[in-house]
Amino acid sequence: MRVCIVFLLCLAGQAFTASITEEEPIIDDVVEEAQPEVGANPVQVEIGDFDEAIDVVEEEEDITENPCLNHHCKKGKVCEVDEENTPMCVCQDPTTCPAAVGEFEHVCATDNTTYDSSCHFFAQKCSLEGTKKGHKLHLDYIGPCKVIEACMDAELNEFPLRMRDWLKNVLVSLYERDEENNLLTEKQTLRVKKIYENEKRLQAGEHTLDLLAHDFEKNYNMYIFPVHWQFGQLDQHPVDGFLSHTELAPLRAPLIPMEHCTTRFFEQCDADNDKYIALEEWANCFSIKEEDVNKDLVI
Ligand SMILES: [Ca+2]
Ligand SMILES: [Ca+2]
């Protein structure tokens, strides 16, 4: 059941981003022209659409009718034209945000304030642009703010057990549903096929932690690719072998309200504490052996 919930939440979390850093990631300030194909993967999201750290894609096309038509603004901003009919991005008025339909549209920010929706949050963040408060304000997780209990050491160790199993099951499920070959690439399909066809594979379901631990030991090889795959899904802006907090957000933000060890887990993944999770650090977090970390598996 937990797997299903997490899976659904990740789907639900597509329109959100988060960052818990006190500092803005340095290398996130890039313009991404080509957006990855969206929808194939529960955690693959339209980062460019809502990513607070990615700059605007300016398009210089000659649009006679409405200069704002092709002028995209980052989340929290909307396009307006000035007196010379030149489009520019200005902070969105929060009152123009669509009303939240349900509680799941609420978001909790790092100031422990619940915002009606991510639109309201980003509009507020924009209005604080240039201030210390605005710089520190980030979307933390999806859903209204709530007390998140402390994560105990023993619980922290359980987190990767479930997460690895979940990643493997997500991949297998994509493979099973991939009738039109658009959920996974050819290379990914080949990798997952091996896992899918392996008779020793632990089927998806409610498993005890002991069984998950035992399976990881016994079928270790089946977990190597899913861990690499997830890294590749998140490492998109830019594709550089490092995950910023913003890149991690699509996975992290929906999980936090469900799994109270999420924040601590990803914090400790960044072993050298440089605010980025390198592939090696990521793999190590999931107990993938150093000799099995392979950039070529990030496909
Ligand atoms: Ca990256
Ligand atoms: Ca690091």
Looking at residue 58, what is its pLDDT?
Answer: 52
Residue range 196-210, pLDDT digits in tens? 998 889 988 889 999
The amino acid present at 284, given as its one-letter code, is N
Does some domain include residue 241? yes
Q: Tell me the HSE value of 60 on the side-chain side, using a 13 A CA sphere.
A: 0
Compute the distance from residue 125 Cα to the ligand 1 centre, in Å: 23
Compute the distance from residue 152 Cα to the ligand 2 centre, in Å: 23
CA distances from 198 to 191, 216, 260, 293 (A): 11, 14, 33, 22
Compute the distance from residue 34 Cα to the ligand 1 centre, in Å: 15
Does some domain include residue 75? no
Residue range 123-151, pLDDT digits in tens? 999 999 999 999 889 889 999 999 999 99
Flag whether pLDDT at 4 surpasses 80: no
Instruction: Categorize the per-residue pLDDT at 15 as very low, low, confident or very high, splitting at 50, 70 and 90.
Output: very low
Ligand that lies nearest to the alpha carbon of residue 245, given by its number in the listed order:
1
* Averaged pLDDT for residues 146-166: 92
Contact (CB, 8 A) for 6 and 166: yes
**What's the distance, CA 26 to chain centroid?**
18
Ligand that lies nearest to the alpha carbon of residue 277, given by its number in the listed order:
2
**Count of beta carbons in the 10 Å neighbourhood of residue 209:** 12
Does some domain include residue 130? no
3-state secondary structure of 186: helix
Q: Using CA atoms, how far apart are residues 81 and 87, in angstroms rounded to an integer?
A: 4
Compute the distance from residue 281 Cα to the ligand 2 centre, in Å: 7
Instruction: Categorize the per-residue pLDDT at 222 as very low, low, confident or very high, splitting at 50, 70 and 90.
Output: very high
**Mean of the per-residue pLDDT values of the chain:** 81
Compute the distance from residue 228 Cα to the ligand 1 centre, in Å: 14
Flag whether pLDDT at 178 surpasses 90: no
Looking at residue 24, what is its pLDDT?
Answer: 38
Least confident of 28-37, 158-167, 212-221, 265-274: 28-37
Does some domain include residue 229? yes
Does some domain include residue 274? yes
Flag whether pLDDT at 31 surpasses 50: no
Compute the distance from residue 237 Cα to the ligand 1 centre, in Å: 5
Find the domain containing 242 and state its range: 153-297
Q: Using CA atoms, how far apart are residues 258 and 246, in angstroms rounded to an integer?
A: 19
Instruction: Categorize the per-residue pLDDT at 264 as very low, low, confident or very high, splitting at 50, 70 and 90.
Output: very high
Compute the distance from residue 24 Cα to the ligand 1 centre, in Å: 14
* Averaged pLDDT for residues 251-267: 91
Does some domain include residue 14? no
Looking at residue 213, what is its pLDDT?
Answer: 94
Compute the distance from residue 294 Cα to the ligand 2 centre, in Å: 17
Compute the distance from residue 81 Cα to the ligand 1 centre, in Å: 33
Compute the distance from residue 244 Cα to the ligand 2 centre, in Å: 9
Compute the distance from residue 141 Cα to the ligand 1 centre, in Å: 20
Compute the distance from residue 232 Cα to the ligand 1 centre, in Å: 9
* H or E segment to which residue 166 belongs: helix 153-177
Does some domain include residue 100? no
Compute the distance from residue 28 Cα to the ligand 1 centre, in Å: 8
Contact (CB, 8 A) for 122 and 92: yes
CATH code for position 223: 1.10.238.10
Does some domain include residue 137? no
| Domain count across the chain | 1
Compute the distance from residue 147 Cα to the ligand 2 centre, in Å: 28
Compute the distance from residue 255 Cα to the ligand 2 centre, in Å: 21
Least confident of 62-71, 173-182, 219-228: 62-71
Alpha helix stretches (DSSP H) within 46-117: 47-50
Flag whether pLDDT at 38 surpasses 80: no
| Percent of the residues in the chain that have a pLDDT greater than 70, as a whole number | 79
Q: Using CA atoms, how far apart are residues 12 and 241, in angstroms rounded to an integer?
A: 26
| Strongest mean pLDDT among 10-19, 44-53, 159-168, 176-185 | 159-168
Looking at residue 229, what is its pLDDT?
Answer: 94
Q: Is 98 exposed, middle or buried (0-12, 13-18, 19+ CB in 10 A)?
A: exposed
Q: Using CA atoms, how far apart are residues 21 and 13, in angstroms rounded to an integer?
A: 20
Compute the distance from residue 268 Cα to the ligand 2 centre, in Å: 9
Instruction: Categorize the per-residue pLDDT at 240 as very low, low, confident or very high, splitting at 50, 70 and 90.
Output: very high
Q: Is 82 exposed, middle or buried (0-12, 13-18, 19+ CB in 10 A)?
A: exposed
* Averaged pLDDT for residues 250-278: 92
Residues near ion ligand 1 (CB < 5 Å) are 235, 240, 242
Contacts of 119 (CB under 8 A, 6+ apart): 75, 92, 94, 97, 98
Looking at residue 183, what is its pLDDT?
Answer: 87
Ligand that lies nearest to the alpha carbon of residue 285, given by its number in the listed order:
2
